[in-house]
Each structure stands twice: as C-alpha cells, then as structure tokens.
Amino acid sequence: MAEALTLHEDPRSGNCFKIKLTAALLGLPLATRAYDIMKGETRTPEFLATVNANGRIPVLQIGDGPDARFLPESNAACWYLAHASHLIPQERFAQSDMLRWMFFEQYSHEPNIATLRFWLRFVGEANLSAEQRAQVMPKRIAGSAALDLMNRHLARSAFFCGGSVTIADIALFAYTHVAEEGGFGLGDYPHINAWIARIEALPGFVAMD
Amino acid sequence: MAEALTLHEDPRSGNCFKIKLTAALLGLPLATRAYDIMKGETRTPEFLATVNANGRIPVLQIGDGPDARFLPESNAACWYLAHASHLIPQERFAQSDMLRWMFFEQYSHEPNIATLRFWLRFVGEANLSAEQRAQVMPKRIAGSAALDLMNRHLARSAFFCGGSVTIADIALFAYTHVAEEGGFGLGDYPHINAWIARIEALPGFVAMD
C-alpha cells in the first residue's frame, strides 16, 4: 500500500499549490494541514523540531507516526510525487533541461514575482519596510525579464520541455498565473497566456485556492 | 563515443566551479571557454542567440557544431554530468532529498552568500549602488541562517544526503568554502569546516581557480 501523503501548507502560497497541482494531475490523494505564515505558525518550536528546521512551508510528509519523512522545498516535493510518471521525462538531456527550468524558477522567477505578490497583496504596500521598498523596482525589472524569457521560449514550444506538460510547467505556472496580483501585467506575453490556457485545460487540473 | 563537453564559464564563479568539480570527481573531460561577466561578455548578441538567451553563465554545451545542445543553470548541468553515477542516489526519497538541498542552495544560500562575495570581492564595497547597500544586511542575516541550518544538519550526517558525497554537497560546497570572501566567518560552524575537509579529501578533487 502506498504511504500516506500530507502537505504542510499555507493555502495562499503558490509554492504549496505546485504540490497540490502535481498530485491532482497524477490522481494522488494528498491530505493537507494548514498554517498561517503571517502569524508565525511555521516558526514554532514544534514545527522546527518535527517538520522543517528551516521554518518554511511547503513540506511534504511521507508516511505517518515515528517513521514519517519530511521533504521541504516545493520543487523537490513535486519531483518526489511525479517519480516514474509522465510528468518527468526520462531521457537524460530532457530531464536535465526540465530541472534547468525548475532552478530558473527558484532563482530568477520566484524571488521576484512571488515576493512582489506577497508584499503587495498580503503585506500591503503601506506596511513595507524601507529595505523592502528599495527592492520593489529591482524585483519588478528582474521579474519582467523572467517573464520575457518565458514568453520567448513558449513562442517555440507548447510546454517548457517540448510538447507535453512536465513538473517544470507546474513550477512556473504557480506564480505566473497570479503574477498580476504582484503588479505584473501579462498582456504583453501572448505565448504565456496561451500556455496558461493549455495548463488550465489539462485533465485533473485544480485551481489555486 | 561520448559527446564532447564544453563549459561556458567565468573562472571566478562558484556556479561554474560546481560543474568543473563534478566532472573532476567523475573523471570526465571538460573543455572550457572563458567569459568576463564584468565586461558584459555573456550579454553579446551572439551569446544570447547561441549559448543562453538568459545571458548568464555557466552553460554546459553538449556536442559540437549544429547539433550542439546548451544547458544553463549550474545545478542542472551537474545533474546531467552525474547521470547514473554514484553522485546521485537512485532511491526515490534520497534522490528527492538531494534535490531539496540543491533548491535550498539556489533559493536560500547562493543569493545571499555568493552575491555578497561578488559585491565585496569583485565589485567593491565603494562601488555598490544604494539599492545594493540596502541589501547587504538582509543578505548577511539570511546567509548566516543558511550556514547555521547547514551546520546543524552536518552535525548528524557526514554529507548532505547521508554517508557519501552527492551533487548536493558539490552545489553547497562551491560558495560555502569561499564564504569568508563575502564577509561570512566560518569559525562558528565546526561541522561545516569538517565537511569542507571531507570534500577536499575526495579522490579527484580539484580546487577553485
């Protein structure tokens, strides 16, 4: 019997949504346990000792009780769930190229596009610190460059790694499709919009909360 | 016959060093072509059209001529090189957990520890913009938190994923072992220092330029 899967999450987080969307596309049952990161619920001594010493969600829990294992980092959790499925190409270069887009997502996309969404939608512009305020424009520029690169790539390819969906698409979809909540206009990126529509039409697709 | 491997690199970059260290530990021949990122040599029209539309190094080139393929993102290049080797665990959870540390490296470690090294050692403190200056202290705090998490993990484990080296160790080693160039003291992290010594003692180890 397959081990129980539990997602420790904040439902507002796109990083958590990646894992829920991967599970949904694969038809895998996934329990959830919600935390409010705005209230510090992932920084409690119990959370740090048991779930993630790094104090962050999402964390994918595999199994229950004393033998449970905990896997932080959204893209690593997607990798675990999609093991040996059609969402991960098996050919050596294609698989490496898929990971290339997932590392791009964590380095060049998420810190700009997700962070501005968090600041503008959840923290509120009036509540930003001076340091955060100084970062809005650099993140706006870097996030726009990431979207431009994606748009140019998607002009030549239906999904990020060729003609079918992989977990690289799921990773990049999570914050791209809500980028407007962070003040990024998507009107200039027709290939991104067509790709968003393709993902939303996939069998098993679930929307973000 | 194996395809020729060429690394497009700047020798001062720890991200490029990851790939050279992976190749060295595996005994793989790897040609290099050097660019000076300070002079914009990775932003030329030819580089953007051929090597990487994202204008960044490292890029691993596989093969030559019109059939050459190009793989950006340091950790994806390490994944390609280490395919089916002892540097990647095959068991599902262990492999996912290795990727977890590699995503941690790109999200929580490199943007803080590598960026401060670049700013302080190569750009020079006097040449930083006001925006960069405002980021020094947040990056100091976040980078120190990453080192603390690594040190606590290495108190219980010889390498990041158990008793033998993986590409997660290589990814984290690259900028950790030169963290003092970015103003991070390593004296408080005895388990990191012991792990650095273990990596430097590996057969085939090569030092950074």
Average pLDDT value for residue range A173-195: 97
Which of A93, A107, A135, A139 best probes binding to B when mutated, by most B CB atoms within 10 angstroms? A107
ipTM of the complex: 0.97
- B31: its two tokens: 């040609």
Q: Do B53 and B30 touch, CB atoms closer than 8 A?
A: no
To the nearest whole Å, the CA of A206 is away from the closest chain B CA by 24
Q: Is A124 within the bounds of a domain?
A: yes
Q: Enter the DSSP assignment of B201.
A: T
**Cα B65 vs. chain centroid, distance in angstroms?**
27
Return the residue in A88, A99, A113 with the most chain B beta carbons within 10 A, the one to mutate for interface testing: A99
Q: What is the pLDDT of residue A104?
A: 98
Q: Provide CB contacts within 8 A for B101, sequence distance 6+.
A: B160, B161, B168, B171, B172
How does residue A1 score in pLDDT terms, banded at 50, 70 and 90? low
Please determine, for residue A2, whether its predicted confidence score (pLDDT) is greater than 80: no
Binned at pLDDT 50, 70 and 90, residue A136 comes out as: very high
Cα separation, A112 vs B31, in Å, equals 34
Residue B209 is predicted with a pLDDT of 81
CATH number, residue A52: 3.40.30.10
Angstroms from A138 CA to nearest CA on chain B: 8
* A99 and A183 fall within a common domain: yes
CB spacing of B134 vs A138 below 8 angstroms:
no
| Contact residues, chain A, for B97 at CB < 8 Å | 71, 76
Q: Which amino acid type is present at position B84?
A: A
**Rounded to an integer, what is the distance from CA A144 to the centroid of its chain?**
18
Same domain? B171 vs B192 = yes
Residues A196 and A103 in one domain: yes
Encode pLDDT of B123-181 as tens digits.
999 999 988 998 999 999 999 999 999 999 999 999 999 999 999 999 999 999 999 99
- Inform me whether the C-beta atom of residue B106 falls under 8 Å from chain A C-beta atoms: yes
What's the gap in Å between the CA of A71 and the closest CA on chain B? 6
pLDDT at B186: 97
**Do B156 and B61 lie in a common domain?**
no
Q: List C-alpha distances in Å: A190 to A104, A152, A185, A202.
A: 21, 10, 11, 19
- CB B103 to CB A106 under 8 A? yes
Does a structural domain hold residue B207?
no
Provide the shortest C-alpha distance from residue B135 to chain A (in Å).
7
* B150 contact A CB<8A: no
> Which ranges constitute the DSSP H helices of B36-164?
45-50, 74-81, 92-104, 115-117, 130-154
Residue listed under structure tokens 């294609």: A94
Same domain, B181 and B104: yes
| Statement to judge: residues B71 and B97 lie in one domain | no
CB atoms within 10 A of CB B115: 18
**Do B122 and B69 reside in the same domain of the chain?**
no
Over range B12-31, report the average pLDDT: 97
Segment A137-158 shows an average pLDDT of 97
How buried is residue B53: exposed, middle or buried, by Cβ count under 10 Å (0-12/13-18/19+)?
middle
Mean pLDDT of B196-200: 98
Nearest CA in chain B to A70: B97
Q: Which of B50, B81, B112 is the last residue of a domain?
A: B81
- A91-116 in b/e burial notation, b at 16+ Cβ within 10 A? eebebbbbbbbbbbbbbbbbbbbbbb
Q: In this predicted structure, what is the pLDDT of residue A209?
A: 81
pLDDT digits (tens, 9 = 90+) for B67-104: 999 999 999 999 999 999 999 999 999 999 999 999 99
DSSP sequence for A94-116: HHHHHHHHHHHIIIIIIIIIIHH
Strands A31-34 and A69-72: unpaired
A104 and A157 inside one domain = yes
**The pair of three-digit structure tokens given for residue A45, joined into one six-digit string:** 């001594």
Q: What is the three-class DSSP state of B140?
A: helix
A86 domain-assigned: no
Q: What is the CATH number of the domain that holds B96?
A: 1.20.1050.10
Residue A57 belongs to some domain of the structure = yes
Count of domains in chain A? Answer: 2
Same domain, A187 and A98: yes
Separation of alpha carbons B23 and B82, rounded Å: 8
Q: Is B75 on the interface with A (CB under 8 A)?
A: yes
Percent of chain A with pLDDT over 70: 100
* C-beta of residue A146 within 8 angstroms of C-beta of residue A113: yes
Judge whether A118 lies within some domain. yes
Asked if the C-beta of A99 comes within 8 angstroms of chain B's C-beta atoms, the answer is yes
The B residues from 186 to 205 touching A (CB cutoff 8 Å) are none
Res B1 pLDDT > 70: no
Residue A130 has pLDDT above 60, yes or no: yes
Q: Which domain holds residue B105?
A: 92-200
Q: Which of A93-97, A166-170, B51-55, B140-144 has the lowest mean pLDDT?
A: B51-55
Q: Inter-chain contact A108–B54, Cβ cutoff 8 Å?
A: yes
A207 within a domain of the structure (yes/no):
no
CA distance A209 to A56: 19
Q: Which residue in chain A is spatially nearest to B139 when comparing CA positions?
A: A131
Of B81, B106, B134, the domain-final residue: B81
Question: What chain B residue is nearest to A55 in terms of C-alpha separation?
Answer: B149
pLDDT single digits (tens) A27-56 = 999 999 999 988 999 999 999 999 999 999
A126 and A184 in a single domain? The answer is yes
Q: Is residue A115 part of a domain?
A: yes
Task: Count how many Cα atoms sit within 13 Å of the Cα of residue A119 in the half-sphere of its side chain.
Answer: 25
Q: pLDDT tens digit string along B22-34?
A: 999 999 999 999 9
Q: How far is the alpha carbon of B205 from chain A, nearest alpha carbon, in Å?
A: 24
When scoring B43, B79, B101, B103 by the number of chain A Cβ atoms within 10 A, the one with the most, hence best to mutate, is B103
Give the number of A-B residue pairs with CB atoms closer than 8 Å: 101
H helix runs in chain A, sequence order: 14-26, 45-50, 74-81, 92-104, 115-117, 130-154, 167-176, 190-200
State the nearest Cα–Cα gap between A173 and chain B, in angstroms: 17
List own/partner pairs for A150-154 with CB under 8 A and 24 or more apart: A150/A109, A150/A176, A150/A189, A150/A191, A150/A192, A151/A188, A151/A189, A151/A190, A151/A191, A151/A192, A152/A191, A152/B53, A153/B53, A154/A191, A154/A192, A154/A194, A154/A195
B87, part of any domain: no
Which string of DSSP letters, residue by residue, matches B2-44?
A: PPPEEEEE-TT-HHHHHHHHHHHHHT---EEEE--GGGTTTSS
Say whether both A101 and A187 belong to one domain: yes
Res B188 pLDDT > 90:
yes
Q: Where a domain ends, among A61, A81, A101?
A: A81
Residues A111 and A188 in one domain: yes
